[in-house]
């Protein structure tokens, strides 16, 4: 029971952290589009994409490795904290230098390049905070991450909107982002000092061993972050910053699900690692439960975006985004495959099959990029959406294949049954709301309430029905 409460607490903490990040980013994206226009939004998102790629290359490999190793051997935490932080700092400097060189060589305007340089500085504090967050995750104290980040995210959003109202440009938003991540790093160190008996020395053997062990993780994460942003990069080179802004607006509508998905999986990752010693049946049970939960969220969301995508684009941004509805529908179809890909990816890492993930991301990124260049050149915004969907299908297919051949098969009917039932229940609600053409906010409220009721009903059925719960309640009294 204690483990269940700990898992729930960690999941909620990670979801709160990611939701705060997602919601503030979502609001900021809408504010930039409304205040400065789609082209300015494109500049911001392009700069953020380069920052995201290079910080991912510099830090995500170490974070995943440290979380796995510390979950198994927590006594080495002091060494991981100090030596890992020093190693991360070196990688961060190299990564920022690489960003500057790449942006300088590409044919962007001077203003866009300047925004990239300023926002790129955020690589250093963000990468360093990944070390402290890996320790929090390994110790299953994710609430400390939420306490460090959520208030800063909210304050950052307020300051950024205020800066735009004072007519400050995109480059100032990049500087605010860098300062806020530095503040988060300071707060996380304040929290970690009482938890870890710090040894202020660098372990040279640990550093070299970590570099050797993390090579596969670095390759996986580097290609993964490029894969996640490749559509924006191709659009920026073959299209324009305006198209980047439109596509970025579409991607932001999917962020709430992606944040919830990643938060749940990050919370369960230490348990994935521990379950390796408990046998394949235990791993299968955890994996199927996680995928089912994510599909319960993603399938109804896909239906909603399919039927109300245009209204949502106009409501969040403005009428200039209405033409992006087709691209939104195509991109949203990836929600069918992402729950499988994200869950199975971490399952394979927990079992030591990092090389499998590396193969997947190499194949997906290579084929997706080649197809993407052709699609974007021909169909522009819709081509980028098709590219995103094809890459999701490629990743899903490979993860299913590798899981079945290296670990175990999945009971797909058990996984899909409840998500499909909830989606079938929601479809008449969506169609009825579309027919009667209510105000969008009212439509959103009614559909959300209907979804919550269906999920509660299915949850009660899963625990034995109303009669079972009532009898259990009476026995406890």
Please give the chain's pLDDT, 477 residues, in tens: 445 556 666 667 767 777 788 788 888 988 898 888 878 888 898 898 889 888 877 776 677 777 777 777 777 788 878 888 888 888 899 999 999 999 999 888 888 899 999 999 999 999 898 888 888 877 777 788 888 899 999 999 999 999 999 988 889 999 999 999 999 999 999 988 888 777 777 777 777 777 776 666 666 666 677 766 777 888 888 877 778 888 888 888 887 788 778 777 877 777 777 777 777 788 888 888 889 989 999 999 999 999 998 888 888 887 878 888 999 999 999 999 999 998 898 888 888 787 787 788 788 888 888 888 888 888 888 988 998 899 999 999 999 999 998 888 898 898 998 899 999 999 999 999 888 877 888 988 999 899 888 888 777 766 554 444 444 434 544
Report d(CA 20, CA 22) in Å as an integer: 5
168, part of any domain? yes
CB 340 within 8 A of CB 348: no
Q: What distances in angstroms separate CA 344 from CA 37, 274, 291, 353, one per listed residue? A: 39, 16, 9, 11
Task: Classify residue 23: in a domain, yes or no.
Answer: yes
Is 223 within a domain?
yes
Distance set, CA 223 to CA 47, 362, 368 (Å): 18, 7, 12
Q: What are the strands, taking DSSP E only, across 210-274?
A: none
Nearby residues of 230 by Cβ (< 8 Å), 6 or more positions away: 365, 368, 369, 372, 387, 391
State the Cα angle at 225 between 221 and 231, rounded to 5°. 155
On whether the pTM is more than 0.85, the answer is no
Question: Does residue 151 contact residue 184 with C-beta atoms inside 8 Å?
Answer: no
**Is residue 298 domain-resident?**
no
Rounded Cα–Cα distance for residues 416 and 420 (Å): 6
Check if the beta carbon of residue 145 is closer than 8 Å to that of residue 17: yes
Number of domains in the chain: 1
Would residue 266 count as lying in a domain?
no
Six-digit token pair at 6?
A: 């700990």
Residue 184 lies in a domain: yes
Nearest partner of 77 among 210, 226, 195, 253, judged by Cα: 195
Instruction: Report the alpha-carbon distance of residue 272 to residue 269 in Å, rounded.
Output: 5
Residue 58 located in a structural domain: yes
Following DSSP, what letter does each residue of 140-202 receive, concatenated?
T-THHHHHHHHHHHHHHHHHHHHHHHTT--HHHHHHHHHHHHHHHHHHHHHHHTTTS------
* Angle at CA of residue 265, ends 272 and 331, nearest 5°: 140
Which range of residues forms the domain containing residue 152?
1-239
Within a domain: 334: no
């Amino acid at each position: 029971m204690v483990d269940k409460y700990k898992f729930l607490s960690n999941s909620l903490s990670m979801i709160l952290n990611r939701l705060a990040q997602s919601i503030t980013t979502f609001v900021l994206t809408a504010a930039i589009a409304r205040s400065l226009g789609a082209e300015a939004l494109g500049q911001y998102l392009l700069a953020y994409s380069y920052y995201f790629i290079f910080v991912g290359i510099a830090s995500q490999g170490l974070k995943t490795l440290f979380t796995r190793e510390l979950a198994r051997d927590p006594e080495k935490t002091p060494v991981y904290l100090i030596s890992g932080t020093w190693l991360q700092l070196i990688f961060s400097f190299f990564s920022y230098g690489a960003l500057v060189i790449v942006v300088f060589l590409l044919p962007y305007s001077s203003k866009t390049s300047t925004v990239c340089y300023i926002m790129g500085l955020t690589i250093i504090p963000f990468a360093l905070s990944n070390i402290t967050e890996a320790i929090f995750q390994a110790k299953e104290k994710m609430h400390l991450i939420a306490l460090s980040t959520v208030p800063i995210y909210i304050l950052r959003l307020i300051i950024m909107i205020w800066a735009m109202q004072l007519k400050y440009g995109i480059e100032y938003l990049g500087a605010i982002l860098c300062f806020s991540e530095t503040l988060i790093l300071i707060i996380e160190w304040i929290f970690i000092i009482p938890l870890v008996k710090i040894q202020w020395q660098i372990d040279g053997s640990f550093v070299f061993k970590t570099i050797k062990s993390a090579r596969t993780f670095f390759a996986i994460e580097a290609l993964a972050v490029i894969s996640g942003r490749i559509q924006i990069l191709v659009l920026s080179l073959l299209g324009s910053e305006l198209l980047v802004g439109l596509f970025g607006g579409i991607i932001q509508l999917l962020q709430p699900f992606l944040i919830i998905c990643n938060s749940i999986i990050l919370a369960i990752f230490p348990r994935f690692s521990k379950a390796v010693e408990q046998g394949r049946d235990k791993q299968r049970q955890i994996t199927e439960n996680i995928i089912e939960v994510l599909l319960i969220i993603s399938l109804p969301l896909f239906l909603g975006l399919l039927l109300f995508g245009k209204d949502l684009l106009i409501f969040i941004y403005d009428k200039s985004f209405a033409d992006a509805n087709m691209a939104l529908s195509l991109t949203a179809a990836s929600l069918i495959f992402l729950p499988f890909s994200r869950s199975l990816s971490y399952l394979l890492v927990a079992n030591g099959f990092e090389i499998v993930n590396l193969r997947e991301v190499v194949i997906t990124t290579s084929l997706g990029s080649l197809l993407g260049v052709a699609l974007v050149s021909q169909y522009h915004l819709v081509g980028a959406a098709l590219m995103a969907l094809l890459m999701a299908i490629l990743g899903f297919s490979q993860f299913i294949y590798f899981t079945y051949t290296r670990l175990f098969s999945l009971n797909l009917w058990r996984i899909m049954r409840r998500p499909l039932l909830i989606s079938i229940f929601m479809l008449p609600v969506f169609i009825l709301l579309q027919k009667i053409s209510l105000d969008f906010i009212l439509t959103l409220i009614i559909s959300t309430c209907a979804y919550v009721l269906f999920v509660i009903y299915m949850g009660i059925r899963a625990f034995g029905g109303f009669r079972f719960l009532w009898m259990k309640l009476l026995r406890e009294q």
